Amino acid sequence: AKVRHFKWEVEYMYGAPDCQENVVMGINGQFPGPTIRAKAGDTIVVDLTNKLHTEGVVIHWHGIRQLGTPWADGTASISQCAINPGETFEYRFKVDRPGTYFYHGHYGMQRSAGLYGSLIVDMADGEKEPFHYDAEFNLLLSDWWHKSVHEQEVGLSSNPFRWIGEPQSLLINGRGQYNCSLAAKFSNSSISQCKFKGNEKCAPQVLKVRPNKTYRLRIASTTALASLNLAIKGHKMAVVEADGNHVQPFAVNDLDIYSGESYSVLLKTDQNPYKNYWVSIGVRGRDPKTNQALTLLSYSATPASKLPTTQPPVTPRWDDYNHSKAFTKSIYALMGSPQPPKTYDRRIILLNTQNRLNGFVKWAINNVSLVLPSTPYLGSIKFGLNNAFDQKSPPDNYDSSYDIMKPAPNQNTTQGSGVYSITLNTTVDVILQNANALAKDVSEIHPWHLHGHDFWVLGYGEGKFKDGDEKTFNLKNPPLRNTAVIFPFGWTALRFVADNPGVWAFHCHIEPHLHMGMEVIFAQGVHRVGQIPKEALACGLTGNKQN
Ligand SMILES: O=C1O[C@H]([C@@H](O)CO)C(O)=C1O
């Protein structure tokens, strides 16, 4: 195993992700940030210098469990103090398992501002994937707004509330086309045809393939809001990996991917090699106002300039939830994957609601909308600083009379910074319960992401989770993941073993929802956490602590 060193500087810079000039967050002058490529067992060391002038920064390594290094998880106010302008923080952690991962900002809405990149971990030397492929492509998907993230934040925390709206563009590897489309002639709007020489920074990255080969596409979504669907005209895909875990391979024509998720699919280039084929990405789960992102699967014998003469794949209707559920429920762990414990020690039911607080709009879990404390939990819990955050634990359940199908009669929420204290090495079931939002007949998709662990997704259900529903749980081959979606008016059941001492965020991966309080904190075995680097403690009530 190797130690891989990186020196990164984070700054705001000009960029034109969708061909229109904007300010983006870059790393070493790059947007998206540099791809980290490592082998399982390697140690990654990133010396991150904050070159921003007026704000802190942190980076979260999404999907990496940080076993024994909870201070390197990169969550401001949770695992560490934000890195101040001019300061450098050393992230040092092991990538213990192969898979398709990514990294992103986890302070304010810096992920939405473009602070992200790919992290790909190959099998350790001498080990083989349980499938064959000849070559691979990496597709990091995101969404993009022309309004600055600072303005978006002000809108979200204003009364009256100003929602961020739908994205202007979808990006593939940081590239999108706002004012033109590669498939203009197939669109019913008056959008113009894109003309690229190919070297423009917003030109689509074409996937150049040879005939009769197998390609692995690594697909990850770090969108701020959009749920996406990806399809490749004329080609089926076999899903083989989800969030760094092998799954029972299954064939699809298109796949849904929610923010925080990653997949690998295998693609056989078995179609007419004298043609090119559309790769399309479209919005799901919200009435889309954003054009599809497009690129080409281009066979080696065919120049990329030769556009397909048929229309790109049609994204399934945004509210065709049966299509989404059919895909999601087809995902099973590959035979031989770790199985969940047969029983749980504690069940936490988390009701997801959109609320008001003195006229401001919030999201809350069991009627608590999370407010992050100024002293990060990891340090304050380790040192027993009882005035650093609310000492009252948030509830493990919600009022059984709550009607999840209707707007609540009382839409107000409370705010708090309390944590769920979990006994180390116990098995926890979490039931994520969706509900009606503020408006009548509206319930939205939320992809929930857990830090520090994978969980088994035991099942999905409609309506309110009730006693007996656990009989439907899949305990045989549930997929292991770090992100799972809750469908409108439904529930999702997860199980995890709390075996990683630290303080871990569990939250909706939709950036504005997280910002509006849609998050809970799990603390476990913090007395067992080793020496926390002093830079991670250098703020708030831990500012003068040594350990
Ligand atoms: O948090 C949100 O606010 C809007 C809407 O509910 C009010 O404008 C929306 O779609 C969200 O997801």
Is residue 421 within 8 A of residue 393, CB to CB? The reply is yes
> 295, 328, 361: which is the final residue of a domain?
328
Residue nearest to atom 4 of ligand 1 (CA): 163
400 shares its domain with 452? yes
Closest atom of ligand 1 to CA, residue 437: 6
**Structural domain includes residue 33:** yes
**Structural domain includes residue 338:** no
**Structural domain includes residue 378:** yes
32 shares its domain with 93? yes
252 shares its domain with 389? no
489 alpha carbon – ligand 1 mean position (Å): 16
> 328, 362, 388: which is the final residue of a domain?
328
pLDDT score at 305: 94
147 shares its domain with 170? yes
Question: Within 6 Å (CB) of ligand 1, which residues are found?
Answer: 163, 354, 437, 444, 513
**CATH number of the domain residue 287 falls in:** 2.60.40.420
Q: 398-434 burial, b for 16+ CB within 10 Å, e for fewer?
A: beeebebeebbeeeebebbbbbbebeeeebbbbbbbb
502 alpha carbon – ligand 1 mean position (Å): 32
**Which residues make beta-bridge pairs with 412?**
356
212 shares its domain with 87? no
124 shares its domain with 142? no
444 alpha carbon – ligand 1 mean position (Å): 9
**Structural domain includes residue 339:** no
Q: In angstroms, rounded to a whole number, what is the distance separating the alpha carbons of residues 431 and 408?
A: 20
114 shares its domain with 190? no
**Structural domain includes residue 547:** no
Summarize pLDDT for 353-372 with one digit per residue, the tens. Answer: 999 999 999 999 999 999 99
86 shares its domain with 215? no
pLDDT score at 190: 85
pLDDT score at 547: 75
Q: Which DSSP string corresponds to 76-130?
A: BTTTBPPBPTT-EEEEEEE--S-EEEEEEE-STTTTTTT-EEEEEEEPPTT---S
pLDDT score at 464: 98
SS (H, E, C) 266-312: EEECCCCCCCEEEEEEEEECCCCCCCCEEEEEEECCCCCCCCCCCCC
Closest atom of ligand 1 to CA, residue 161: 8
462 alpha carbon – ligand 1 mean position (Å): 22
ipTM: 0.96
Give the number of domains in the chain. Answer: 3
Q: In angstroms, rounded to a whole number, what is the distance separating the alpha carbons of residues 27 and 116?
A: 9
Closest atom of ligand 1 to CA, residue 354: 1
Q: In angstroms, rounded to a whole number, what is the distance separating the alpha carbons of residues 414 and 358?
A: 10
173 shares its domain with 39? no
What are the Cα distances from residue 83, in Å, to 53, 64, 70? 12, 20, 16
121 shares its domain with 141? no
Give the residue numbers spanning the domain of 121: 3-128
Q: In angstroms, rounded to a whole number, what is the distance separating the alpha carbons of residues 398 and 362?
A: 17
**Structural domain includes residue 114:** yes
268 shares its domain with 354? no
118 shares its domain with 183? no
Residue nearest to atom 3 of ligand 1 (CA): 163
> 128, 153, 169: which is the final residue of a domain?
128
From first to last of its 547 residues, the chain has per-residue pLDDT tens of: 999 999 999 999 999 999 999 999 999 999 999 999 999 999 999 999 999 999 999 999 999 999 999 999 999 999 999 999 999 999 999 999 999 999 999 999 999 999 999 999 999 999 999 999 999 999 999 999 999 999 999 999 999 999 999 999 999 999 999 989 999 999 878 899 999 988 899 999 999 999 999 999 999 999 999 999 999 999 999 999 999 999 999 999 999 999 999 999 999 999 999 999 999 999 999 999 999 999 999 999 999 999 999 999 999 999 999 999 999 999 999 999 999 999 999 999 999 999 999 999 999 999 999 999 999 999 999 999 999 999 999 999 999 999 999 999 999 999 999 999 999 999 999 999 999 999 999 999 999 999 999 999 999 999 999 999 999 999 999 999 999 999 999 999 999 999 999 999 999 999 999 999 999 999 999 999 999 999 999 999 999 887 7
pLDDT score at 92: 98
**Structural domain includes residue 295:** yes
**Structural domain includes residue 84:** yes
| Residue among 112, 158, 163 to mutate when testing ligand 1 (max atoms within 8 A of CB) | 163
